[in-house]
Amino acid sequence: ALRVLVDARADVDKAHSDGSTPAWTAAQKGHEAALRVLVDARADVDRAHSDGRTPAWTAAYWGHEAALRVLVDARADVDRAHSDGRTPAWTAAYNGHEAALRVIVDARADVDRADRDSDTPAIMAAQEGHEAALRVLVDARADVD
């Protein structure tokens, strides 16, 4: 269905009244194939929801590794923070999404960027007991002090 809309030249960046775009929704749902169609149609992979969550942030939150990989390949900004200063790395670490976090780290994200409460991804992974996510950060030389 998405391909039909794209072929009909639908606006691939048109936002819903809640601020979500097709790329944002595909990232939230983990729809890798839909994201590929949107990327091929030159959708804005960094256009944020009205509250500041980007497609990369949303995919990281839900742990959608494949969707994140599509976004990273499309050069999505993996360091763009939500309105509270939380980056995709922060939210993946907090939620214990090791594979998603690895995609973000491999994209050379800032693994030490703290939120507005001064909590870093490593602090959050440790606090939440996500040892595998913390190991990803330590292996990426995140500051653990």
7 exposure class (CB count in 10 Å sphere: 0-12, 13-18, 19+) = exposed
Task: State the chain's mean pLDDT as an integer.
Answer: 95
Residue 10: pLDDT over 90? no
Confidence of residue 21 (pLDDT cuts 50, 70, 90): very high
pLDDT band at 45 (very low <50, low <70, confident <90, very high): very high
pLDDT band, residue 145 (cuts 50/70/90): confident
- DSSP assignments along 74-102, one per residue: TT--TTPPPTTS--HHHHHHHHT-HHHHH
End-to-end CA distance of the chain: 49
Cβ atoms of 137 and 121 closer than 8 Å: yes
CA 79 vs CA 14, 47, 86: distances in Å: 23, 13, 9
Residue pair 110/87 in contact (Cβ under 8 Å)? The answer is yes
Q: Which of 130, 133, 143 is nearest to 104 (CA)?
A: 133
pLDDT category at 3 given cuts 50, 70, 90 is confident
6: left (phi over 0), alpha (psi -120 to 50) or beta: alpha
Q: What are the sequence ranges of the domains in the chain? A: 2-139
- pLDDT, position 46: 96
Residue 6 or 72, more confident = 72
Q: Does an H or E element contain 122, and which?
A: helix 121-127
CATH class for the domain made up of 2-139 = mainly alpha
**Per-residue pLDDT tens for 79-111?**
999 989 999 999 999 999 999 999 999 999 999
